[in-house]
Amino acid sequence: MGQKSVSDYATAGDSKSLTAIDGKVFNIVAVEDSNYDETPGVKITTKEEFEVDGEKFNKFHTTRHAITKFFSEAVRNDLKSGETIGPVKTEKVKAKTRGVNDYYVLVDA
- The reported pLDDT for the residue numbered 20 is 94
In this predicted structure, what is the pLDDT of residue 16?
93
Give residue 73's pLDDT.
96
Q: Specify if 11 maps to a domain.
A: no
6, part of any domain: no
Sequence-ordered strand ranges (E) for the chain: 16-17, 26-33, 42-52, 55-62, 85-93, 103-108
- For residue 50, tell me if it sits in a domain: yes
> Do residues 108 and 87 touch, judged by C-beta distance below 8 A?
yes
Question: What tens digit of pLDDT does each residue of 3-42 get?
Answer: 766 655 554 578 999 999 999 999 999 999 998 888 999 9
- Is the residue at 99 inside a domain? yes
72 lies in a domain? Answer: yes
**Which tens digits make up the pLDDT trace of 40-68?**
999 999 999 999 989 999 999 999 999 99
Q: How many domains does the chain have?
A: 1
pTM of this structure = 0.83
Instruction: Establish if 10 belongs to a structural domain.
Output: no
Does residue 33 lie in a domain region? yes
Q: Is residue 7 part of a domain?
A: no
Backbone angles phi, psi at 74, to 5 degrees: -65, -45
User: What domain range includes position 30?
Assistant: 16-108
Contact status, residue 7 vs residue 51, Cβ threshold 8 Å: no
